[in-house]
Structure 1
């Protein structure tokens, strides 16, 4: 007998929403640029490879309650929102195909593990760009370091809520083996994303889509 994938109600709803969101995000994405624009090609697939490796190295006792670095605060700063979503989706498909994530969790992981972190980061970047002084230290700290901590905290809290509401695990199991680790992941994730952006804006600023020398270095002023 062939194995069939069983979806819970929440998983099915999440999958449908994910398909709609993915269609709206990618329907006008100029994928042909990946063929003609070598810089974009190298950045997108280089980021894919980097994030894939990070997501493969994970730890945890119970299935699903695993912890790993995200690097999803730096990703939209480097690629922009839609290309970051595209890159992260390829990684999510990759770790699902390799068996690190369950197929029935694809929709949930897309919404809580990809869309939520990247949207939060890009939202913070957009706010700081339009409302705060355009300063390199503000860019690094408020757009990369703090979002790094926020993204992993929100992802882990959201997934904790999902596992409890869907009845996958009881709350003591989730709390003792997953939720409680959230505080331990905040600083490492923040530092990892902050250092990534710091190194790139110093040595390879042209690789960072959202960073512009004339705005953050030569023309520091309040918008």
Structure 2
């Protein structure tokens, strides 16, 4: 079953379209005029699409997988991350259909908007909000950036988005075999994995490919 359930309500599609409309209004594709960023963006799209294709279905139909949303926000900023995650949603949904041997018409298109909201839009917004707070409250230091934007923002965003989806699945769709506490335990484990993976990649990119990390500015974090 898709993250939003077999009969996802219209408000999920409305939220998704609203987020996409805002991202389009910001015209983030202008960032891709930078030649040094294009390869990183394409690589990130492929990597996160693979993350969304690899998933675990729990008893009761709830699906868990790594999001990669915080990584996209950290690398490319929120507007471009929202558009990129929608492309990831499309590519991975087609990939899941291909792996299941489904024809084009057999792809579960109804899952498009719920997947985007729970795995892309919500964790991306949480990540961006946490990173704004960290920039305002914490000292500007590369280690603080890696630890805060990479590890803590990813873990907390995954925890918040995963918990929201689990609560909605439990009370909004009637739940499943697993109880809500059991599902939240799985969310907590997932959040640790999200934090470790994102933090490790952010650390690598900040050291070796800082030009791919648009939220990391040398004049802010490498002064003096």
RMSD, aligned CA: 2.6
Q: Which runs of 5+ in 1 are unaligned?
A: 1-5
Determine whether 1:25 maps to 2:36: no
Q: Kindly name which structure, 1 or 2, has the bigger radius of gyration based on alpha carbons.
A: 1
Q: Pick from 195, 198, 203 the counterpart of residue 198 of structure 1.
A: 203
Alignment check: 8 A CA contact 2:19 2:82 kept: no
Q: Which runs of 5+ in 2 are unaligned?
A: 98-106
Determine whether 1:12 maps to 2:10: yes
Q: TM-score if structure 1 supplies the norm length?
A: 0.82
Q: How many residues align?
A: 211
Measured after TM superposition, the shift of residue 70 of structure 1 is: 1.8
Partner of 2:112: 106
Cα deviation 1:26-79 (Å, max 9, x = unaligned): 134154664x54333322221110101112111224475222222222221111
The 4+ residue runs of structure 1 with deviation greater than 6 A are none
Q: Pick from 53, 57, 60 the counterpart of residue 56 of structure 1.
A: 53
Partner of 1:3: none
Q: Relative contact order (alpha carbons < 8 A, sep ≥ 6): 1 or 2 greater? A: 2
Alignment check: 8 A CA contact 1:152 1:186 kept: yes
Determine whether 1:211 maps to 2:211: no
Cα deviation 1:121-148 (Å, max 9, x = unaligned): 1112222223321011211111111111
Q: TM-score if structure 2 supplies the norm length?
A: 0.82
Cα deviation 1:166-216 (Å, max 9, x = unaligned): 32534x525376432122223222111111111111111111101122321
